[in-house]
Amino acid sequence: MKRFRVFVAAVLLAAAGYYAWQHWPVHIELELGGPTAGWPAYGGDDGGSRYAALTQIDKNNVRYLKPAWEYHTGDVSDGEGDIPSTTAFEATPILADGRLYFPTPFNRVIALDPETGKELWKFDPKTDLKGHYANQLISRGVTYWETGDAALPSPKRIFTATNDGRLFALDATTGEPCTAFAKDGMFDLNEGVGEQRYVGEYQVTSPPVIAGDTVVVGSAVVDNQRVDIPSGVVRAFDARTGALRWSWDLAPPPDKRTAELAVSDAGYALGTPNVWAPMSVDAERDLVFMPTGNPSPDYYGGLRHGLDYYGSCVVAVRASSGDVVWRYQTVHNDLWDFDVPCQPTLTEIQKDGETVPVVIQATKMGFIFVLHRETGEPVFPVEERAVPQSPVPGEKSAPTQPFPVLPPPLVPTDLKSDEAWGLLGFDQKGCAEQLQGLHFEGMYTPPQVIQPTLMFPGNAGGTNWGGVAVDPFRQKLVVNAMNLAWVVSLIPADEFDAVKAANPHVEISRQEGTPYGMRREVFLSKLGLPCNPPPWGVLTTIDLTTGEIDWQIPFGTVRDIAPVPLPINYGVPNLGGPLITESGLVFIGAALDDYLRAYDLDTGEELWKGRLPAGGQATPMTYRLREDSRQYVVLAAGGHGKGGSTLGDSVIAYALP
């Protein structure tokens, strides 16, 4: 007993010492006169590099980061009560004209003082919160535009789009709508896209982009409901007046169609792919780079009539006209919901002694495509490889799919029958039995009717909307990815109602207009953990001069998702992206444990982590206003309703004391 008391005393002393070390006042000589930088666009710049030329926070002092201020939006929903949709606070603030601007999940736009977090103004578009938003209530960012035309009312503007499909222009100084834009500052994007059966079937979740004085905006639609969903048309507007300049209908060229397409009253094809993820702009080349989704529905392709042509592609569109310059398809005839999920990242790489302008596209498959920015041709080799074929009547799947040789896949693409994982013996046995009952011929196994199909990686595997960060000087790319298996089934239409009624908590959708509904779910054990081996989340750095992986580590602990809150470093699912600073740091939230972390870009060593007030499923940003000011790292910490992380409403800034 005496030894036990001594042991307890030692533990308490150690804990007290650790607490004192963590909270002891620290004096740091801050670097003054060093570089300053803002964050003027959603991805840091128009090309989405997520890189900041800042050095005040470095590898030696990052461990001293502390919260500098915290702001609460009040906009959060768990899907219960008066608001039927959950929220996901995925916003990345921008810094422009001396203010921080960001949207909430309810689409309110807020301007803050960037050094104190004090609210300067707030705009409420009064989004219809009663809608049923399958993509949740989400708004990832806003866009800033400024003109030198002093005669124009509101020469500094914030553009934002809403979950219920409206585009607003706001005065960046006051937050008031710019009445000279469209109709009293608002254009209704619902006009002309086709019938909507309920509010939330068509929404905008990502920020518009600015190309010169043109505002370009895409949209998201609900997955797997019907073949004639609203059009995925991308539209461009005059930033001054709101007049429509061009529209790009994602219908295939006439010679690629196998039947007449259904169209909206405005002539836009229905059921097309859309552009729901953020876009990028190359102003010098007059190009907008668009990541496209799938035609509808995702898991049956027998009635698409050529709509796959622009599906799951990176498309370069002329910013001044809307004409397609080139397209590169990352998945042919996509039957897996492998739509291109994140912002194409623009940078230059050094290859074979030359400087090559590229667009880098991360994907849900865990593949990274590096394409020449002017032609769309792969810069690193890509091979077309034979893949399993669909046995579903009326469906013809693609005989091959593109596999990048470099960079290598970020996550495994095969799950063997003896690789089922479980935390305990009975758990592992249950996963093994489930796996034996699944149909799997390797990656790109098409869903079928007779037997549930394993998808590995699944539609929430690989990367998602967070994208990548690039250090253009070190020639390093940083990307976080998920390693999760999914199970998908096709359900004959005459059995759909019975299957749905028997499985009320599983995602089951009708795919109306086709012979089959669909069912999909993560491949989980009885304890609620993935049945494929960890790590379930990874953080990776790639050398862009060679295409090879520099380092890869498990990313995130099971502290906040496991039955017992232990900080075991299995790596966890993650949503959000990284940023890189000139000082060689990688900052990232994203993981489903509630932390913001800093890593050494050169080694992958975790140098610091700060506990967040809620889930950090967003991409951080950083800035330093003046030579005598501090560098701040800011993250939206509001959690992810569907992801199961802690819900909240915080925007939190960290800085050195």
pLDDT at 424: 86
337 tagged catalytic: yes
Domains detected in the chain: 30-655 (2.140.10.10)
Q: In 322-478, which ranges are continuous DSSP H helix? A: 425-436
* Dist CA 116 CA 118 (whole Å): 5
pLDDT at 414: 95
Q: Around Cβ 582, how many Cβ atoms within 10 Å?
A: 18
* Dist CA 59 CA 601 (whole Å): 10
**Residue 157 is encoded by which pair of tokens?**
């503007």
For the chain, the first-to-last Cα distance in angstroms comes to 44
| Active-site residue identified among 337, 427, 550, 593 | 337
List the helix and strand counts (H, then E) for the chain: 3, 40
Q: Which residues contact 271 (CB under 8 A, 6 or more apart)?
A: 226, 227, 228, 229, 261, 262, 295, 296, 304, 307
Q: What is the mean pLDDT of each run of 10 residues along the chain (657 residues)?
A: 40 41 58 89 98 98 98 97 96 97 98 98 98 95 94 95 98 97 97 95 98 97 94 98 98 95 96 98 98 96 95 98 98 97 97 95 98 98 98 95 98 94 91 96 95 95 95 98 97 96 94 96 92 97 98 92 73 97 98 96 98 97 96 98 95 97
* Dist CA 620 CA 635 (whole Å): 5
Give me the phi and psi of 556, to 5 degrees please: 95, 150
pLDDT at 559: 82
- pTM score above 0.85: yes
pLDDT at 7: 36
Are the C-beta atoms of residues 468 and 280 closer than 8 Å to each other? no
